[in-house]
């Protein structure tokens, strides 16, 4: 059953390529490394309590010169991961798009003075179809994907989120899809390298998002590079900035950490607003 009740916004981890769907011993890291994250994603639909009419996803794996929305009615899949077993390129997720929502997104961004474009050929990247295969495996909820903006400016993405906040009262679930820690070199190096750094950043991030003073939260997110081990945790910002969109759309709703894991020695978290 869908609802017009105000939807929350989410910042979720989307895993490492197709690791949730790989045979034992063939995934990234030790066997079972991704199980807790997969369980979290599988439980998200039930945790929401109500089913959204549509979903708007901002993925770490799409950047354009301006905020760009996928307006296809029937998007395909973009297998933008490399070097995995052949069967991982045969995954299917036939969720429909929603051109009406895509236009609404562009209109809201334009109203806020944010330049927005339209994409009519690109498929859902793995920042969308991999987690949503677990969240809504029936693929029966329309999904629209929105890009990041090249330059990866924190203020730009917070402003995008604020502009899109009205969608929450229209049955739209806004999801930022990234990873709260994304230093792949440190993650794949094994051992303890980077562990303390990831934990310091995760503690800062959790404290920042759970702060009831949302003005302070937003100010700290704008200066995230000054956070303890912020740059060590995100040498490049693309996996963090979907959070800024989710937080911007949250308005005065306080964040709550809903997922916490030690993934191959590195702290990873997921958050909900509202």
CA distances from 268 to 2, 74, 223 (A): 31, 33, 20
| Average pLDDT value for residue range 4-19 | 94
| Average pLDDT value for residue range 116-145 | 98
Q: Model confidence at 1, in pLDDT bands (50, 70, 90)?
A: very low
Question: In this predicted structure, what is the pLDDT of residue 76?
Answer: 97
Question: In this predicted structure, what is the pLDDT of residue 4?
Answer: 59
| Average pLDDT value for residue range 202-213 | 98
Question: In this predicted structure, what is the pLDDT of residue 2?
Answer: 46
**Are β-strands 143-149 and 54-64 bridged in parallel, bridged antiparallel, or unpaired?**
parallel
CA atoms within 13 A on the CB side of 110: 10
Q: For residue range 47-83, list pLDDT tens digits in order.
A: 999 999 999 999 999 999 999 999 999 999 999 999 9
Instruction: State the average pLDDT for the chain.
Output: 94
% the chain with pLDDT above 90: 88
Going 78 to 81 to 85 to 88, the CA torsion angle's sign is negative
CA distance 26 to 59: 25
Domains of the chain (ranges; CATH) run 9-273 (3.40.830.10)
């Amino acid at each position: 059953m869908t609802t017009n009740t105000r939807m929350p916004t989410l910042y979720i981890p989307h895993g490492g390529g197709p690791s949730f769907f790989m045979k034992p011993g063939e995934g990234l890291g030790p066997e079972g490394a991704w199980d807790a994250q997969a369980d979290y994603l599988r439980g998200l639909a039930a945790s929401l309590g109500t089913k959204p009419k549509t979903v708007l996803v901002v993925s770490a794996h799409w950047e354009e010169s301006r905020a760009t929305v996928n307006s296809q009615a029937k998007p395909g899949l973009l297998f933008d991961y490399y070097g995995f077993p052949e069967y991982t390129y045969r995954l299917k997720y036939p969720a429909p798009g929603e051109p009406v929502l895509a236009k609404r997104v562009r209109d809201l961004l334009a109203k806020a003075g944010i330049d927005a474009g339209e994409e009519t050929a690109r498929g859902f990247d793995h920042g969308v179809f991999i987690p949503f295969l677990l969240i809504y495996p029936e693929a029966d909820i329309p999904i629209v994907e929105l890009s990041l903006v090249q330059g990866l400016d924190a203020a730009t993405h917070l402003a995008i989120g604020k502009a899109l906040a009205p969608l929450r009262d229209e049955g739209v679930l806004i999801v930022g899809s990234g990873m709260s820690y994304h230093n792949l070199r440190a993650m794949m190096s094994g051992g303890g390298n980077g562990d303390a750094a990831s934990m310091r950043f995760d503690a800062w991030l959790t404290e920042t998002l759970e702060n009831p003073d949302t003005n302070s939260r937003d100010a700290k997110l704008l200066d995230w590079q000054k956070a303890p081990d912020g740059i060590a945790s995100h040498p490049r910002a693309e996996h963090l900035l979907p959070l800024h969109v989710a937080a911007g759309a949250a308005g005065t709703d306080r964040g709550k950490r809903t997922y916490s894991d030690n993934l191959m020695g590195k702290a990873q978290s997921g958050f909900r607003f509202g």
